[in-house]
A and B are shown apart, each in its own frame.
Chain A
Amino acid sequence: MSRREDRAGSAGPASAAVASPSANPVLRGLRPVISLRRITKVYRMGDIEVTALTGVSLDVVGGELLAVMGASGSGKSTMMNILGCLDTPSSGRYLLDGVDVRRLDESVLARVRNRKIGFVFQSFNLIPRTSAVANVEMPLAYAGVSPKERRARAMFALEEVGLADRAHHLPSELSGGQQQRAAVARAIATNPSLVLADEPTGNLDSRSTHEIMDIFARLNDAGRTVVLITHEPEVAELTRRIVRLRDGSVLSDESTAGEHLHASNMGEDTRMGAV
């Protein structure tokens, strides 16, 4: 996993609904972890059909740190749900590690979600009345890890996000930032290669945003592919590739050469609007 390489290409302002060639690492010979091909998604609400995605094609190679931006209703959450195998596209192909997920049945998808993907939600989505460490253990339990090893790995994941000292607190006893850190620990507990985050900092203040983005940077440094949705330009600027969606299709796909996320770049004076 060499994330240095994909910093090379610098994209101009893309105008087409197709990924700009220079930002597309596949064209540079790298095997994509995620490959979306003309994905569409149509929701049916009674008699009304709502088109969320009108044909998105996107490739993400291993080790990328990518931000998906777009206005509300642009289809970015729908795309994230499809990437996380939580939802299925209406048409088009989604290859995850070269495997077409449409051909996988429910139980295999569950295993894929468990082993390959770590999902972080805007609203943390920790299970209430269950301690932080128990929440982190949960995916390991579904993976069939023994209770003893589970606890050790969960504690390790909590240490990685700096929450080991609050491991036995209930979610209601944790601050928003701490809850999100526990959620990140849960996402990485099974050691997935792909971390998906749907507005992970959307409910956090600037300090917690800093902490969470710092963690994502370190995860990415360790070779994990991180895809995050955000509508905060300051957060997006810290990644190295920004995909913008509008009305269900890719508006632009550009590399952000200079300001790639690194812990040292996250000065205390960085103002990131706490929404």
Chain B
Amino acid sequence: MSWLENIRIALRGLNANKLRSSLTVLGILIGVGAVIILVAVGTGSSQAVQNRIKALGTNTITVLGTGRFGRGPATTGTQSRAATLTAADVSLLQDKNEAPDVLTVSPVISTSVTATNGSATSTMTVTGTTPTYTGASDFQVQAGRNLTSADITQHARVAVVGQTLISDLFSPGSNPIGSVISLGSAQVQIIGVLATKGTTGANDPNAVAIIPYTTAEDRLTGYSASFSELIVQSQSAGDINAAESEVASVLAGANHTTVSALPFRFLNEGSLLSTSQSTNQTFTVLLGAVAAISLLVGGIGIMNIMLVTVTERTREIGIRKAIGAPKSAILGQFLTEAVILSLIGGVVGVIVGVVGSHFKIIGVQPVLSWQSIVEAFGVAVAVGVFFGFYPANRAASMRPIDALRYE
């Protein structure tokens, strides 16, 4: 008895009970489809969160100074002074011998001001920094130019501004580059416009004007010799933890203290990403597990229907055995039937899952993963074999005389 004939016999058996067979297939179909769609939703939401985090720049470490979070000064022995982030720290961190994994260091002084252009006003953040800041913060200069080192040293009154400021202060269509606006008490000329950046939370990242930190000290914050934060870029995303420890030890050295006593806060975007990744993975696994339960229920449906089929066809089994069917042939026949049910359910379930994953579900654009498709399909077939085996074995183990006598 070849497997091809087994399939033919099985199809004939399934065809004889179309409604029953299709309901059983539906059980597997729903299970497979649910696994694929829910895993895709999980993957999709995870990717959405990660994209937002990546928008912050995955290879950046933000070092927050003391003043901003009200941390107390570092105490080192008898000597006590507030540890601050200074221009000296910046040049130390830029030293490739001290911190080889650091790519760029951008000091940040920020303050909130009201920007005005004629009668139009806009409340926004002014960031006093260096040219590397735009790259480190994942900003892109859409028009005009970025800050230059010359702008920093010359205390140039220039600004690279975000889209919110443009839309608030300028009429649509006009070219803002070259215009002079007021940022609080400072008059600056717009030299560049930033591309729109995705929001990461409540703050609008596009309501920003980037100016040289020297200008900011001159015109807005006053000279304090310290920065509110440093944006440190590592050479690559993989170096981020090494860069963080280098920065910490350099700063500890500069402040005559230990790394653990350092009064700065480090926000490592890389660890943020991996934390969110693992959280989302748990979420996806959870969704997949819930869907897998429905696949299991579908499998129990197969077992149920196969038990009914075997009981119904007890006489046929008896006849087949009487004319010399070996145990393996009967086993193969009913196992094939169960596997065909799960196979059809698996194939249609994959189609439903793939199609269903193209629609937005509860605000999440699902992202199909090949792995989940292959796994769901594989598990469906395995479920067919597993739950089909018991009924098939029951059929194969019947004594011919009992099977023949069955009414």
By a beta-carbon cutoff of 8 Å, the part of chain A in contact with chain B is 81, 84, 86-87, 106-107, 110-115, 119, 121, 125-130, 138-139, 141-144, 186-187, 190
Contacts and interface: CB of A to CB of B under 8 A. Distances in A.
B401 A125 contact: no
Nearest to B12: A129
Contacts of A106: 326-327
Q: How large is the interface on B (under 10, 10 to 19, 20 to 34, 35 or more residues)?
A: 20 to 34
Q: Of residues A125, A129, A186, which shows the largest number of chain B Cβ atoms within 10 Å of its Cβ? A: A125
Contacts of A81: 401
Given A129-B16, A141-B5, A142-B329, A86 B323 contact: no
A211 to B, nearest CB: 22
Nearest to A115: B324
B316 interface: yes
Interface string B371-407: 0000000000000000000000000000111001000
A107 B327 contact: yes
Contacts of B401: 81, 86-87
10 contacts: A110-B321, A111-B326, A115-B324, A125-B319, A126-B319, A127-B320, A129-B12, A142-B1, A142-B320, A142-B326
A190 B316 contact: no
Contacts of A129: 12, 16
Interface in B307-352: 315-316, 318-329
Contact of A114 (B315, B316, B323): B323
A235 B174 CA distance: 113
Interface in B11-62: 12, 16
Contact of A141 (B1, B16, B322, B328): B1
Nearest to B320: A138
Contacts of B326: 106-107, 110-111, 142
Given A119-B323, A127-B319, 5 more contacts: A115-B324, A125-B319, A128-B316, A129-B16, A142-B1
B36 to A, nearest CB: 36
Given A81-B401, A125-B319, A110 B327 contact: yes
Contacts of B16: 129
A81 B404 CA distance: 10
Contacts, number: 68
A113 B319 contact: no
Given A86-B400, A86-B404, A125-B404, A142 B325 contact: yes
Contacts of B321: 86, 110, 113
Given A87-B401, A129-B12, A142 B327 contact: no
Contacts of B1: 141-142, 144
Q: Please name the 3 residue pairs, one residue from A and one from B, whose CB atoms are nearest each other, closest first.
A: A114-B324, A110-B326, A87-B401
A126 B322 CA distance: 12
A129 B316 CA distance: 11
B187 to A, nearest CB: 94
Contacts of B322: 84, 86, 113, 119, 121, 125
B404 A110 contact: no
A198 to B, nearest CB: 10
Contacts of A112: 324
B327 A113 contact: no
A139 B323 CA distance: 6
B312 to A, nearest CB: 11
Contacts of B12: 129-130
Nearest to A130: B12
A81 B319 CA distance: 13
Interface in B276-327: 315-316, 318-327
B207 to A, nearest CB: 76
Contact of B323 (A128, A144, A186): A186
Contact of B324 (A125, A127, A128, A139): A139
B324 A110 contact: yes
Contact of B316 (A87, A113, A127, A187): A127
B334 to A, nearest CB: 14
A164 to B, nearest CB: 20
Contacts of B319: 125-127
A142 B323 contact: yes
Interface string B247-280: 0000000000000000000000000000000000
A112 B326 CA distance: 10
Contacts of B320: 127, 138, 142
Nearest to B400: A86
Nearest to A189: B323
Interface string B177-214: 00000000000000000000000000000000000000
Nearest to B16: A129
A209 to B, nearest CB: 22
B13 to A, nearest CB: 9
A138 B323 contact: yes
Contact of A125 (B5, B315, B329): B315
Interface in B125-163: none
B75 to A, nearest CB: 87
A119 B319 CA distance: 10
Nearest to A113: B324
Contacts of A126: 319
